[in-house]
Structure 1
Amino acid sequence: EVALRNADLIYDVCIVQGNAYVPGHQEIEIGLVKLYRVTGDERYLELAKHLLDIRSDQKDDAYSQAHLPVTQQREAVGHAVRANYMYSAMADVAALTDDPAYLQAVDAIWENVAGRKLSITGGVGASHRGEAYGKNYELPNHPYNETCAAIANVYWNHRMFLLHGDSKYVDVLERSLYNGVMSGLSLDGTLFFYPNTLRHDGVSGFNQGVNGRSPWFNCSCCPSNLSRFVPSVAGYAYAVRDGEVFVNLFMNGEANLQTGNGALTLVQRSRYPWEGKIEMEVMNDAATEAKIHVRIPGWALERPVPSDLFTYADEQAAEPSMQLNGKSVQMDLSNGYVTLERTWNKGDVIQLELPMVARKVIAMDSVAEKRGLVAIQYGPLVYCAEEIDNSRDVLEASIGTSSVFGARYEPGMLGGVIVLEGEGLTLVPYYAWANRGAGKMNVWFRRPELDNFQGQTYP
């Protein structure tokens, strides 16, 4: 009732009275779309689109994404949190109105981010100037990458998946979730990062003046945003469309899904992201006809991101495989999914196995600050070296392209993690860094075999 009264007031002021107020910090548009979905009242969708449409040609306001009408925008600019909230709303409007101008704009902006402005952790908004998207390929080793921007990146990519049904959006969502979002929250849930750097000298107060994690900030949007976001994570695991089920994320749990042909109950069991074996068992009593689309992550298909921004520098050790009731399934992919269509009975089991090994990731040459550098990834997780685990200086450490990293599970370390060891280095998941005090940390390491490595600077 409170939400409806507020929305009705804003509708009266902006639509009925005709006041052209442009929201300075976008997000109300998302709320209005949700209100429309719940109530069916088209005024709220009209208002959401209106607040986007009146963002006009104010040349000096790229910071607030008001430099061009939204349907003419093609590049992610300005304050990254505001931007991603706005792009989320644009995806909503495109889906609900079939407006081709909105669709063309939001698709182009997404391609710009995925191909030019996405950190390896799924973080966005690399520029400290205005907590903003920088220039194309401006991906420094000390990015800003606000936690709220990573959360908003999850929102946006989820909506892009709902709009297009392509798993590449879930690939970015998962990367942001496991790395860019989770890094913002300490393991005990009491300390936070506002920005999320990829390289720390162990002494500077990079976190809003604090060296390490902080319990609060003068502007505490990130802690409160995390408290809202974390309980919603399970909602990203599955999607349903008529008689189709999309399995997007891998996590233990039971899902009761209502398809166009009846209920389908799936129980998922796995130790993902530590192990690549995922089992999905059908548990509903009544037989149900449905298509189940199982996502095969891009990181398991030689594409760490859905562009050429980052690539692997080593060879794939194995390929994903799948079985249905113990029989091998042909891995024919459409939009990143293997589709299983049948009448599902209680006890049917889908088994997916993904290759979980340490992989070396490099950036394209256009990313100047990443030339001559390499990062390590294990499954969907980006890894880092912390001072506490290493006797050598992690900021000066190098990793050769031919080096091999072994993986072992350490149940008593950082809440239970896979630790990687190689090249005289011990690596832990990036999301878990700074949970044992402040110290040096590094994600991108020198590649000593490259000729241009000696001349590279590391700001």
Structure 2
Amino acid sequence: MGSIGSDSQQKLNGNQISTCHQKDRQTPARVKIDDAFWNARIQVDRKVTIPYMFRQLKESPRWNSLKHTWKHGDPDQPHMDWDSDVAKFIEAVCRALNWIPEADPIYSTYSSWVEEAVDMIEAGQGPDGYFNTYHTVVVPEERWTNVTHNIELYDAGHLLEAAVTHYGVTKSTRFLDIMCRYVDYICTIFGPEPGKIHGYPGHQEIELALFRLYHVRPEKRYFELAQYFLEQRGYQDGEFFDNEARARGDDPATWIPPPPPGVDISYFPHPRAYWYMQANQQIRDTEKLCGHSVRSMYHLAAVQDLASLTGDKTLNEAVDRLFDNMVECHMYLHGGIGSIHVWEGYGENYELPLDGYAETCASIGILFLGQRMLQRQLSRRVAEVMERALYNNVAAGVSLDGTSFLYDQPLSTDHMKRHSWFEVCCCPPNLSRFLNSLEEYVFTVSDNTIALNLYIGSHYKSDTVEVKVSTKYPWDGHVAVQIHSETEIAFAMRQPRDTYKISASVKGSVDNGYIHFGPKKWDETIVLTFDMQPRLVKPHHLVKSTQGLVAVERGPFVYALESRDAVGPLDSVALSSSDKLSEEKVQIGGLDVISLRSGDFRLIPYFACGNRSQGEGLRVWLKDGDL
């Protein structure tokens, strides 16, 4: 068994855990989104997508499976991921309730759904605190015998996150108390002490949840468990997973988990493929990303939480190194990550086939990670990566009418199709909970500085400071920031990558891609304007799939060509640097968007694709007409 990292352990034992980041990240009431583009998307989610998802969960066996009434021989056997599906939905509803007036009829309806779920969870919780539907009614004898693959701790993490959010919104401790009983039990099962399981989950998630719990209930054992999971991960090339397999009677040298229902091939490509869950090396020794992309983002976000709480510079260095590897070698133009379908994750460096996976949840994970990195240090590069993922891959994840979804998001396909639901339905509720917490990503707030990361219309208000952002973004490069403060504070805003002008009463200084003003007492408006012309993107010379091709961006949006907007085969469409791209406003799914026309074809933003008809061809990268 490996040992906890010495620097972190010394700080923990000496009660030197930094408190500078210990405020709860969920639903801060001081920030509210007021943005034409995002208001429309969020309102569709709250009024259409949330009730649509509830119907899907109720009509499937997922919702009622929490009652734990299933018996062997009955149809609709619970799956091991159903708890997490319902948990993410509960959290999405709670986050929406934070912004829905209590007088609105849907407030009481949504609240009743949440309380019904909590009732079922409370009734199904074991005397020891344990709660997991699959391992209670299907395979009770397998509890904690296959932590590698059976995602008990992943389910627990999402339930815990839902409970923390529920507490933050309602101030009721009922759900949180239920989940704390579960976590207290988990603390008796895992850890370095004799008699405990000396391991960590195959699918990261509970680490994030434990840190969120620690912010609202700062019990040392919650911190220590999250730290233990992160520090142990990858010890001796996944020795824990080997030992666990042998204890089950499986030979780790030959055993491969069976594929999930309805799938013909295992996600685990060969025995001991522990790189799939980032467990082939410990975090400080890891040089490049590998494996499942969603797991990796949840992992790095939690590592950044740990680094910020302990001040461990070696963990910060690991996060930065792997973030750089992601951006340089594994990120698609539309902010998607994960190029290999079989394991929903990374290939080799620069292996980016245009029909790659690019799961919606993975890009949401980029926002989780980026938010935490900006809290440590402002960086335009990090904020721009977040923006790229947000306005393209994340925004494309749900249709404009709120009733169909994308799980994977290729940049080239002959059959682009949105789906009403999925057998593994992690993406829809994950996207919903994210959209209803978008306000958490706009600003970074420290003791003496407020920084604007994303050009999203919003309102920040505290007892002494008020910041109102009005913007025409993402269609126009105009951002006005009205600031009033009763005390001296500094203000910073992300520097545009394009040519810009800024008006302010004091001269700003640029540091790491942010324009800094003050500190001072404020009562003025800063106006930022910048270029929003279409720009051609040339391919990276090491990415084979895009050689001889060119793409188009305008503002934060990546543009794409759908079959209906071209004459002839998509692969024959060429674009040259001398071609004029004229801007034309068109309406898609009730939303006005700016399209780009060149000759006999028209490009639209990637997020709007698949909203006019199903099964169309799509290309982001077009033939380079200059070659």
Q: TM-score, normalised by structure 1?
A: 0.86
Tell me, yes or no, if structure 1 residue 449 matches structure 2 residue 626: yes
Return the offset for 1:448.
2.6
The residue type equivalent to 1:292 in the other structure is F
Return the offset for 1:102.
1.7
Tell me, yes or no, if structure 1 residue 33 matches structure 2 residue 211: yes
Return the offset for 1:158.
1.4
- Structure label with greater radius of gyration: 2
CA distance in 1, matches of 2:220, 2:383: 29
Q: Contact (CA 8 Å) 1:321, 1:331: kept in 2 or not?
A: no
Residues 266-275 or 59-68, more deviating = 59-68
CA distance in 1, matches of 2:321, 2:522: 42
Tell me, yes or no, if structure 1 residue 229 matches structure 2 residue 440: no
The residue type equivalent to 1:187 in the other structure is L
Residue segments in structure 2 that go unaligned for 5+ positions in a row = 1-176, 239-271
Q: Contact (CA 8 Å) 1:287, 1:343: kept in 2 or not?
A: no
Residue of 431, 435, 452 corresponding to 1:247: 452
Tell me, yes or no, if structure 1 residue 70 matches structure 2 residue 70: no
5 Å-filtered alignment, 1:135-214, equals: 135-202=348-415, 212-214=417-419
Residue of 527, 530, 541 corresponding to 1:365: 541
CA distance in 1, matches of 2:479, 2:539: 30
Q: Contact (CA 8 Å) 2:413, 2:619: kept in 1 or not?
A: yes
Deviations 1:271-305 (A, max 9, x none): 210000111112x4x6332111011134x2xxxxx
CA distance in 2, matches of 1:424, 1:112: 39
CA distance in 1, matches of 2:205, 2:225: 13
Residue of 486, 498, 501 corresponding to 1:321: 501
The residue type equivalent to 2:336 in the other structure is G
Check 1:223–1:86 CA distance in 2 against 1; reply closer, same or farther (3 A cut).
same
Check 1:449–1:411 CA distance in 2 against 1; reply closer, same or farther (3 A cut).
closer
Aligned to 2:329: 116
CA distance in 2, matches of 1:42, 1:395: 58
Return the offset for 1:332.
3.8
Choose between structure 1 and 2: higher strand proportion: 1
Q: Secondary structure at the match of 2:591?
A: coil
Residues 93-102 or 212-221, more deviating = 93-102
CA distance in 1, matches of 2:414, 2:205: 35
Residue segments in structure 1 that go unaligned for 5+ positions in a row = 203-210, 301-318, 451-459
Tell me, yes or no, if structure 1 residue 341 matches structure 2 residue 542: no
Deviations 1:254-273 (A, max 9, x none): 211x4xxx621111111210
The residue type equivalent to 1:134 in the other structure is G
Check 1:418–1:330 CA distance in 2 against 1; reply closer, same or farther (3 A cut).
farther
Check 1:25–1:336 CA distance in 2 against 1; reply closer, same or farther (3 A cut).
same
Return the offset for 1:389.
2.4
Return the offset for 1:183.
1.0
Q: TM-score, normalised by structure 2?
A: 0.64
Return the offset for 1:151.
0.7
Residue of 101, 106, 112 corresponding to 2:319: 106
Aligned to 1:270: 471
Q: Contact (CA 8 Å) 2:509, 2:517: kept in 1 or not?
A: no
Residue of 397, 421, 426 corresponding to 1:216: 421
Return the offset for 1:103.
2.0
CA distance in 1, matches of 2:567, 2:521: 54
Q: Secondary structure at the match of 1:266?
A: strand
Deviations 1:150-203 (A, max 9, x none): 11111112112222222211111110011111111100111000100111213x
Aligned to 1:376: 552
Aligned to 1:315: none
Seq. identity, %: 33
CA distance in 2, matches of 1:66, 1:297: 38
Q: Contact (CA 8 Å) 2:375, 2:445: kept in 1 or not?
A: no
Choose between structure 1 and 2: higher helix proportion: 2
CA distance in 2, matches of 1:153, 1:345: 33
